[in-house]
Amino acid sequence: MRHIIVGTAGHIDHGKTALVKALTGADTDRLAEEKRRGISIDLGFAHLDLTPELRLGFIDVPGHERFVKNMLAGASGIDVVLMVIAAGESIMPQTREHFEICRLLGLRHGLIAMTKSDIADADTLELTRMEIEEFVLGSFLEKSPIVAVSAITGSGIAELRDQLARAAASASIKDASNFFRLPIDRSFSMRGHGSVVTGTLVSGTLKIEDEVELFPVRKRARVRGLQIHGAGANRASAGERTAVNLAGVDSAEIQRGMVLAPPGLFQTTTCIDTTFELLPGAHPLKHRAPVHFHAGTAEVGAEARLLASLEPMKPGSRAPVRFLLHEPLLILPGDRFIVRMFSPVVTIGGGVVLDAAPPQRMRRMLMNQRLEQIEKDGLAAVAIRESPYGLTAAELIARCGRRFPQPWYENSVKLSSFKDSSIDLLKHFHANKPLLAGMPKEELRNLALPGSPPFLLDELLGRIPQVKVEGDLVRLASHRISLKTDESEATARIEGLFRDAGLAVPSAAEVLSKSGIEPARARSLLQILLRERKLIKINDELIFHGSAIEALRGILATRTGTRFTVPDFKTWTGISRKYAIPLLEFLDREHLTRREGDGRIVLDKRRT
């Protein structure tokens, strides 16, 4: 079923509530004060199944100028506006204000009901119609139908329904595939159930048992129950009027203006960069002017910081403006907002959030240019360009409020020099340390990509054919260890000393001291012999020549399955306990022998 939210709009007493009742049968003026005064004060809710496939949710708003703030809380969720203009009274101040609000909120669809047609004569109806046509000229309502209706006689109501069905069919539906957001317009507690909040689900879906986060207080709660237009449901989708029974949060902590969203994805903000439109009828907007800021169902005090020029902004113009919010909000790029003046409290403009987490310290000129870039390339592209290497999907989601399929988005400009710089670094390294096989990867990461996530280095090195990664070392593929004459001689000497010793090897220090070259170089040569497996290190102290270990394997090969003790092993090999124990531990590790009880057993080496 298609869910479309229809919101009323229009001047006080023009017949919005009566019209919603004529359409749906529901009287949305529920408050005693509303009954007594005969006006709407807060939002009213009703719904109508126009066809089996189309459900209209109605949000009836108050027309009184004192309650525009309530109107704003309802207007943020609507898809189709039903402008209500009484025949004879025609365009009045809140007709204009509500209309501007709808336009600034980016509404694209609507229709106009010319109400109280029963008490207007044909000339009045014709005159009002002409005034309405002129009023909407050039706006999103220009081509919208104007239907003369009477809530008293019911005339025109059938046609209005048809036109509503048409408008609902062409309205774009809210995005159910994005993360869910539910700006809260009511909160109360229900006996035996606890906290209940209601709102229009502006995106995503919500299911029973889902975990949610309440913004801006950042409390986690669980969805215990759901209702859509008053009927129990297991899940709610974008566009539906939703009531959520929450477990884990007290209703006293919740109020209109808060938002439910998925847990752990988003941050609140007190500083947003926007593109702002100042209404033609407003006073010029001064830098640092205090304003009322409305977004979703929330209202907070804010200060406007002009970014393009410190000269007051001209009415009817559009410019980048930063708003410093007095209280934190969950607000995301692309969100619309409305700004009202402090005194008199009138709507002066509205706009679109470009960045809800902009850099704080930046020259005004640069901020300005940055916002132009965001409008041109999108926030994600700019945020990636501003990051040292790139951003993870989680970082981009928090920043942009939508899904990002890849795990990582690299800053290809910043990383374009990595290939050349890493090749240079490795060339240098090999020149300074020719006897080393390569540079430790961590060292390269600290030099070439300080502070980068570890996976990035591997990813980038994998793209450079001139570079080879071997374990924890990186080298140029062309790097060969080339020994000088004295080094070759020393290498042969070191190897020879170990080979000649058989299993009764001398200490490494002793061998190095006999190598004939200085200790640092000699140690590098020893490392090379170890890497080439000519020498084998079995623990921190003992190094054997490969041929000695081979001989040992030979001794064991003839004794497969034999149980033996340390003294047996000493007899077979002719070595002392000092070598026997570490060698046996080495053989255990190599699965050539295995401890069993007090002794060991020689394993079948074909099985290992």
Ligand X SMILES: Nc1nc2c(ncn2[C@@H]2O[C@H](COP(=O)(O)OP(=O)(O)OP(=O)(O)O)[C@@H](O)[C@H]2O)c(=O)[nH]1
Give residues in contact with ligand X (CB under 6 A).
12-18, 38-40, 62-64, 84, 115-116, 118-119, 150-152
349 binds, among Mg ion, ligand X, none (CB under 5 to 8 A by kind): none
Nearer to Mg ion, 12 or 261 (CB): 12
- Give, as ranges, the residues between 344 and 403 that touch Mg ion (CB under 5 A): none
Q: Could you give the CA distance from residue 112 to residue 130 in angstroms, rounded to a whole number?
A: 13
Nearer to Mg ion, 16 or 55 (CB): 16
Nearer to Mg ion, 113 or 476 (CB): 113
Q: Could you give the CA distance from residue 527 to residue 530 in angstroms, rounded to a whole number?
A: 5
Q: Could you give the CA distance from residue 154 to residue 144 in angstroms, rounded to a whole number?
A: 21
Work out whether 116 is an interface residue with Mg ion (CB under 5 A): no
Side-chain half-sphere CA neighbours of 16 within 13 A: 34
Nearer to ligand X, 16 or 55 (CB): 16
SS (H, E, C) 308-372: CCCCCECCCCEEEEEEEEEEEECCCCCCEEEEEECCCCCEEEEEEEEECCCCCCCCHHHHHHHHH
195 binds, among Mg ion, ligand X, none (CB under 5 to 8 A by kind): none
CA angle 270–274–279, rounded 5-degree value: 115
Nearer to ligand X, 3 or 16 (CB): 16
Exactly one of 3, 14, 16, 116 binds Mg ion (CB under 5 A); which one? 16
119 binds, among ligand X, Mg ion, none (CB under 5 to 8 A by kind): ligand X
* First-to-last C-alpha distance (Å) of the chain: 65
Q: Could you give the CA distance from residue 499 to residue 437 in angstroms, rounded to a whole number?
A: 24
64 binds, among ligand X, Mg ion, none (CB under 5 to 8 A by kind): ligand X
Q: How far is the CB of 125 from ligand X (least distance, A)?
A: 12
CA angle 22–25–31, rounded 5-degree value: 100
Q: Could you give the CA distance from residue 98 to residue 103 in angstroms, rounded to a whole number?
A: 9
Work out whether 573 is an interface residue with Mg ion (CB under 5 A): no
CA angle 220–226–228, rounded 5-degree value: 135
Q: How far is the CB of 115 from ligand X (least distance, A)?
A: 5
- Give, as ranges, the residues between 34 and 73 that touch Mg ion (CB under 5 A): 40
Q: Could you give the CA distance from residue 28 to residue 31 in angstroms, rounded to a whole number?
A: 9
257 binds, among ligand X, Mg ion, none (CB under 5 to 8 A by kind): none
Total binding residues toward Mg ion, as defined by CB under 5 A: 3
Q: How far is the CB of 60 from Mg ion (least distance, A)?
A: 6
479 binds, among ligand X, Mg ion, none (CB under 5 to 8 A by kind): none
Q: How far is CA 388 from CA 367, 395, 448, 449, 527, in A?
A: 19, 13, 12, 9, 37
Q: At what angle do helices 393-400 and 379-386 cross, to 10 degrees?
A: 130
H or E element at residue 476: strand 473-476
Q: How far is CA 256 from CA 5, 43, 59, 63, 76, in A?
A: 19, 12, 15, 19, 13
523 binds, among Mg ion, ligand X, none (CB under 5 to 8 A by kind): none
Instruction: Identify the CA nearest to 156 among candidates 111, 124, 203, 102.
Output: 111
Q: How far is the CB of 71 from Mg ion (least distance, A)?
A: 10
152 binds, among ligand X, Mg ion, none (CB under 5 to 8 A by kind): ligand X
Work out whether 24 is an interface residue with Mg ion (CB under 5 A): no
Q: How far is the CB of 73 from ligand X (least distance, A)?
A: 15
Nearer to Mg ion, 17 or 491 (CB): 17
Nearer to ligand X, 73 or 196 (CB): 73
Q: How far is the CB of 135 from ligand X (least distance, A)?
A: 17
Q: How far is CA 499 from CA 121, 452, 513, 523, 527, in A?
A: 118, 46, 16, 17, 16
Q: How far is the CB of 213 from ligand X (least distance, A)?
A: 34
Nearer to Mg ion, 61 or 300 (CB): 61
Q: Which stretch binds Mg ion (CB under 5 A): 32-40, 389-397, 405-413, 418-426?
A: 32-40
Nearer to ligand X, 14 or 340 (CB): 14
Decide if 337 contacts 274 (C-beta within 8 A): yes
Q: How far is the CB of 411 from ligand X (least distance, A)?
A: 53
Nearer to Mg ion, 45 or 266 (CB): 45
Q: Could you give the CA distance from residue 110 to residue 84 in angstroms, rounded to a whole number?
A: 11
User: How long, in residues, is the chain?
Assistant: 608
292 binds, among ligand X, Mg ion, none (CB under 5 to 8 A by kind): none
Q: How far is the CB of 244 from ligand X (least distance, A)?
A: 27
Exactly one of 17, 76, 90, 422 binds Mg ion (CB under 5 A); which one? 17
Nearer to ligand X, 20 or 313 (CB): 20
Q: How far is the CB of 118 from ligand X (least distance, A)?
A: 5
- The string of DSSP letters for 152-187 reads TT-TTHHHHHHHHHHHHHHSPPP-SSS--BEEEEEE
Q: How far is the CB of 115 from Mg ion (least distance, A)?
A: 11
Contacts with Mg ion, residue ranges (CB under 5 A): 16-17, 40
